[in-house]
Structure 1
Amino acid sequence: MARHRSKARNKQRSTNRRTQLVGLTAALAATAGTIGLTASVGEASTASTGLSPSQADALTAARVERRDLGSRDATRIDLSLADARAYQERAARGTMRARGALALSAAKAKSARIVAAKAKADAAAKAAAIAKATALAKAKAAAPKVVLPTTGYHLTARFNQAGGRWAHNHTGLDFAAAYGTPVRSVMAGEVIQADFEGAYGRQVKVRHADGTVTSYSHMAEFDVAVGDNVTAGTQVGAIGLTGNTTGAHVHFEVLPDGNTPVNPDPWLRQHGVTP
C-alpha cells in the first residue's frame, strides 16, 4: 500500500514537471517570437499547450508588449530615417548655396578682371596717343621752316637775267645738279599743280599758308599729286631735262600773288636760307 502511494506520488510529480516544462517552453517561445499565438486562443490554447490561465495571460501580455515594442522601434526607425532625409536635404541646400556663392564670386572676379584689363588698355592707348602727338609736335618744331629746293647744286641763271635761251628775261633761279637729284618743297603747303607745262616741262606748284606759290620746273618725275599736303623738305620731284633746257636743273620761281614772279634770292634770304 505504501509502495503504491509512492508510485502515485512519483507519477504526479513527473506529470507536474512535464506540465511546467511545457509551460516554460511555450513562454520562452512566445518571447522569442517562435510561436504565433493570438489573444483569442482562450481555453483551447490553454488546453493544447498545457498552460494554466495565468500562464496564458502572461504569454498574451508578453506578446502584446513585444508587439508594442516592435511598433515603437519601427516608429523610431521611421523618425530616424525622416531626420536623415531632412539632414540630407539641408546639406544639399547648403551645398547649392555654397556653389551659388562661389559662382557669383567667380563671376564678379572675372568682371573685375575685364574692367581692369579694359582700363589698362585704354590707359595704354591714351599714353601711346599722347606720346605720338608729343613726338609729332617735337618733330614739327624741329623741322626746318624753309629749305632750298635741292642740294649739291650750282646756280646757272639768276632772276631777270637776259639771254637767248628765254623768250623774256629770266623769271627765277636755275639750280643745276646731277640728273635725278631730289627736288624739295621749300615750305609747307598744298600741291596745286603737277603736270607737263610746255617749255617748263614737268612742273609742280605748291601754295603756302600766306598765299605765296612756289614753282619747280624741268623735272624728270613727279613725286606728289594735286591735293597733297607737303612740309618743308618734302620731295616733289627730281632734277631732269624736260621742256626747254640745255642741262639738268630745276627752274625755281616765287609768285607772291600766285601769278607774278619775284626774285627768289631775297625772298629765300628773308626766310632764313641763302641760295
Structure 2
Amino acid sequence: MAKHRFSRRSANRRTQLIGLTAALAAAAGTTTVGLASSSSGPANASGSTGLNPSQAEALTAARIDRRELGSRDASRIDLSLASTRKAAADAAAKQRAAKLAANASLAQRRALALAAAKAAAARKAAAQAKALAEAKAEAKAKAEAIRRANAAKAAKEKAEAAPRVVLPTTGYHLTARFGQGGSRWARDHTGLDFAAPQGTPVRSVMAGKVIQAAFAGAYGRQVKVRHTDGTVTSYSHMSEFDVSVGDTVKAGTMVGRIGMTGNTTGPHVHFEVLPGGGSPINPAPWLREHGVTP
C-alpha cells in the first residue's frame, strides 16, 4: 500500500515537472520537450511530445503569448521605425522648406538689388541727360548772348561809322527848292530854303570841320563845314555865327541862327550841298539818302 502511494506521488511530481518544463520550453520557444521517465511510469498521454492535454494547452498558450509578445515587439519596432522615419522625413521637409525659403529670400534680395540698380542707373541717366540738356541750353544761351552782343556792337560800329545826319533846322517850312527860277536869284536856285522864325538855331547836318564862317555878299553870314567824305555843306543868311573856322562839329551842333542877312525877303537858312566842295547838287535826295527827309 505504501509502495503504491509513493508511486502515485512520484508520478504526480514527474507530471508537474514535465508541465513546468513544457512551460519553460514554451517560454523559451522550444517546440518539443521530452523527459526521461522510468520504465515503470505510466504511458505519455500526448503522444510524441510526452505532454498531457493540460500541458499541451499550457504550451499552446505559451506559444500564443510568445507570438503576441513578438507581434507587440514587432509593432513597437515598426512604430519606432515609423516614428524615426517620420521625424527624418519632417526634418528633411523642414530642411527643404528652409532651403526654399532661403532661395526665395535670396532671389527677392537679388530682385530688389537689381531693381535698385536699375532705378539708380535710370536716375543717373536722367541726371546726365538733364545736365547735358542744361549745358546745351546754357551754351546756346551764351552763344545767343554773344551773337546779340556782337550784332549790337556791329550795329553800333556801323552807326558810328556811318555819318549821322540831321536836318539843318526845326519848325520850318520850305519856301524854295533846288533849281527853282525867280527874279531874286541871278540863276536858278542852288539849294533849299528852310524858313523859320528869326533866331531859330541852325545846325550842322553831319560831323565835320568848319572851313568858313564869314559874310559872303548875297549869301549874308555864311558857314561852311567839310565832312569826312569831302562833301561840304553851306548855311547862309544867318543872323549870327556860333562857330569859328577850324572848329570840329558833330551832327546837330549849332553853327548859327536863322536871320535875314544878304539877299533875302524873310528869315530863313539857305542850305546847299557841294560834293567835294564843287558845284551844288539838289540837297533833298542827298538828305533822303542819309536817312532824313526835308
TM-score by length of structure 1 reads: 0.48
Highest Rg: 1 or 2?
A: 2
